[in-house]
Structure 1
Amino acid sequence: MPTSVSLDVNGRAVTIEVDDPGMPLLYALRDNLELKGPRFGCGLGQCGTCAVLLDGEPVLSCETPLTKVANKKVVTLEGLGSPEQPSPVQRAFIDEQAAQCGYCLNGMIIHATALLAKTKNPTVPEIKKALADNLCRCGTHLRIIRAVQRAARNA
């Protein structure tokens, strides 16, 4: 029997009908709503590439059942800004050329956004701790840290 789940995604009220109430939020975002910011990486909650903000807190959408987010606010990479008007964190990642392969980019930006919402001027150890659950395969770690510092200065 199909289940309807209503939630707010990037400031828009949506209702998603699913056959499997345990379906991950990631699949609903990508398949039902065609949002491509959160990505499927490992499917085990170990890489961070599927991160979204759920009521302002970063969560891994690959291991979050859609039914657990009913009536909550979800913000994806697309909800932070646009190509024309990137968020301060997105702009800083662009300016610092912090992306190479792009695998980790979604999770890094989501976690950095959550960090800066709580800590206006984070230290390098605080930045590293906030981003620690994101797997970066290409090694742009120093540029990522500089991007978060730049975003903090420019926010």
Structure 2
Amino acid sequence: MHITLSHNLPKNNAGQGLFPTNDQQQMDQIMPLSGDYDVGIYAHVHHQLYRYTSQEQLILNPGSVGEPYDGWNVHQNNLRARYLLLTIDDAGIADLDYRRVEWDRQAEQKRALNDDLPYKEMYLRHLENGRNFIHDQPFLAQINHKHNYLQDVIHYSRKH
């Protein structure tokens, strides 16, 4: 069994090319052009996923332990940590076990409140309601300005 692992697309680490509701042609891009892969595993969009390519290769996304995401509100309100246990034996895939487990978000909120974290407001709001703000450009600009993050990045880049 040959498996390819990538954060997102094999040659593109950003964007929504592998969003679960995309058409088949976009999802087929998970498989690199070179090589015969049986399974493609990626994570970028934080959705648990079990799907096939046009050639019937398996596409899997384990979800996200720390920032699970679903666009549908009923599913998004379920903030359990999400992951996948994949069991492979000599015959191939023996089991796919998608899991969602509770975790202590209140303890994490207390820890985050006491730590000097960048983007703390975003993180605390995410812990509260599961919503991700990384694509909310006005909100990001407001936080970047409030905390002077641009200057932090410039200062860091000059040191390294």
Q: TM-score range by the shorter chain?
A: under 0.3
Tell which structure's C-alpha radius of gyration is larger. Answer: 2
Scaled by the length of structure 2, what TM-score is found? Answer: 0.24
Q: Which has the higher helix share?
A: 1
Scaled by the length of structure 1, what TM-score is found? Answer: 0.25
Q: Which has the higher strand share?
A: 2
Q: Using CA pairs under 8 Å that are at least 6 residues apart, name the structure with larger relative contact order, 1 or 2.
A: 1
